[in-house]
Structure 1
């Protein structure tokens, strides 16, 4: 379903993707795509694709933080989720699914508790339970609790419900960023971070 769905949407949305790429090139320059390593299922790292929404770091101009580098055009891309369209390629490749815990930074792997690390038992998603329940306004711990809750109760029905709620969330443009941040504050870990052996276990494919 992921493969067929992503292929179909990529084909149907190709005019929108092409137009967005031209606008990104005009407003932000090259490269048009933002790519970054992210951990997927079992912690296996893949290359995430998104449309670029920030300017390059420029110390002379004071463009250092994400908030400084995010332009009005970039905010528009994020609020409409147009920046996510290239991620359909990740779904087509099998790196991601339409629904699942959002792929976060590789550096977070060593900061999860053993329970939080369960979010890597499934493929990450373009949208997920946390994204339709507050998005970036939800605290990290609550967000990870929802990720695990999704895994424990996942079904085609719940996925369809999350997808429908995602369309509504995009329409009302809710929870795009936490106060004072382009998205949300960095996750710095819990009171008991996951041990190196647990990180290895997750990456090897077993439940931590």
Structure 2
């Protein structure tokens, strides 16, 4: 990755200006959505989750809650697709659930444009080459999001991330931001065919027979023992 003036200073300046302005402009929307989430889904209104960021440093990512906390008879949470409500689907389709991430950007945990922050678990299933995507701040949107988002394979998503970090420029970021606006209005590629929520990398690799059940279980065991 080339350390240009834009990468070192301009990108962060743009993040601060755009996220700050967006928080001001969208504050009524954020408040309104927060009230709706509280009424329809209860507390907490904000869903926070640990994600790997720059150089795999863990941070708390914030989103509006889109799922209920329904459990089975044994006290375990029901599958995501059963807890995702119609209202939650609408929030995801319009990307309104991601508005709290503007605070992550202002804080410096994230950038406007960059590889999307994945689950910590997903890192364990990535190759050493794929992990190079962590060499930059994760983004609210990215090259993979404007080229298929969740409707493309994990392999393509990770490849787009690697392509992005090799050529970070102001004009490329601006292009991605403008394309993202169009995607949001069209509500395109919210999820993969036949799936209500995004599939974890490990589950995808197992389903596509790229790893065996034994390898999958071994990695999950290592994660639990960390």
**Is TM (by shorter chain) over 0.5?**
yes
Q: Which residue of 2 aligns with 1:10?
A: 23
After TM superposition, list the pairs within 5 Å mapping 1:123-142 onto structure 2.
123-142=137-156
Q: Which residue of 2 aligns with 1:27?
A: 40
- Say if 2:125 is the partner of 1:114: no
Structure 2: runs of 5 or more not aligned: 1-13, 216-226
Q: 1:42 aligns with which of 55, 59, 68?
A: 55
SS at match of 2:145: coil
Give deviations 1:55-78, integer Å, cap 9, x for gaps. Answer: 113214996111111111000000
Alignment root-mean-square deviation, CA: 1.9
Whole-angstrom CA distance in 2 between matches of 1:48 and 1:80: 19
Q: Which residue of 2 aligns with 1:180?
A: 194
Give the CA deviation at 1:79: 0.5
Q: Which residue of 2 aligns with 1:196?
A: none
Structure 1: runs of 5 or more not aligned: 194-208
- Say if 2:98 is the partner of 1:80: no
Note if contact 1:101-1:119 (Cα within 8 Å) is conserved in structure 2: yes
- Larger relative contact order (Cα-Cα within 8 Å, sequence gap ≥ 6): 1
Select the structure of larger CA radius of gyration: 2
Q: Structure 1 length as normaliser, TM-score?
A: 0.88
Q: After TM superposition, which residue ranges in structure 1, 4 or more long, deviate above 4 angstroms?
A: 60-63
Which has the larger share of helix?
2
- Say if 2:160 is the partner of 1:146: yes
Aligned residue pairs total: 193
